[in-house]
Structure 1
């Protein structure tokens, strides 16, 4: 395998490339988001991960564009808020994200959590599929989905394609979840690997508002782990640091 660097990307099921290193803006205040995102771009980042619920889509997108890097080299992610997981609300959220950011399209749009029940989850997904068909969004995915949620979505996509034709159910490109040595989520990782769904945080999203740390985080590719190192990191524990919607059953 070739050595990774800050320009490394991976191809999603949609056919588009996603940078392996992204700049996360969760809990980044609106009044500093533009400045710190612009600094991240100067450090080599080309991917910013925001969300409607973060309330910083507009300054984050402005920061991405500020360094005058061609739009084709930039990657912007947003997400449908947990409370908007239904067809009508998700459709409106995508349009609002485009209005706020001024972008012609959004590279990746995710459902932020598997809330709202089956009908609403699938309705929100349908809204994202239609956003892709309309050219508003390039790639779509989910966030915080457990295997049972993923199975539900996969079955809906299959049934929809059987009725309406290939591609009409949408293409699942990403599942973004909390992932680290104390929360390996092997069952989710295996599900995604089998279907070539990108599991973020293998696409990593370090977050900081401190310029020096933004720079340090961009220099992540200066070491390699051996197979022995990887074995040491297998803790066999399940310790979420944050919320854990992957276990929800509604």
Structure 2
């Protein structure tokens, strides 16, 4: 796992904030192309393949071929993944991902396959369908990451555990940054004529504080508190390997 330095972490958080702010704007301005943040980027890839398939027989064949080839990405990882009982659950998750990825892409590309199976027609549920299919893929991918982290924590030594913990704190920083940016962008784009009561204003401030406080604390912990942050690995190994000097008699 890659450890982020302090400056790199700040840059990543800034880039993430800009990206999520742009995506939040696009979901409000172009809902037909950006229906939800949870659907990114599978929705845009599938809609691009839909445009390709509508160009004709050749374009449709290329789109179907790309959907089939999308399964090869997790499948190759699964086949090249280390063998053994410890990694069995992770490999199963990759195989499931290889099955779900083309199904999700085809379901977003061709929602007509669900006609007659949903009361009221698929038109009223197409946005929810895109979110559901995309979220299914994200869920399996997150499951694979969690299983891998559990195995690494189980087999790691003290130094590795500190490094993994710092990376997890960095991920939490990104999560809370996402929550903060999305809340602020949606609040700013609220219609100007909307009346906000005192209770709603206080509730909004509490939500903002609920995001800012953990973000500041986790950022401080990731950058300052963890012992593995303060020393480079070589110096830390030397400190661990150097025996204590015996006191003079």
Asked if these proteins are the same fold (TM beyond 0.5), I'd say no
User: Which one has a larger percent helix, Structure 1 or Structure 2?
Assistant: 2
Q: Which has the higher contact order (CA 8 A, sep 6+)?
A: 2
Using the size of structure 1 for normalisation, the TM-score is 0.23
When you count strand as a share of all residues, which structure comes out higher? Answer: 1
Larger radius of gyration: 2
The TM-score, its normalising length taken from structure 2, stands at 0.23
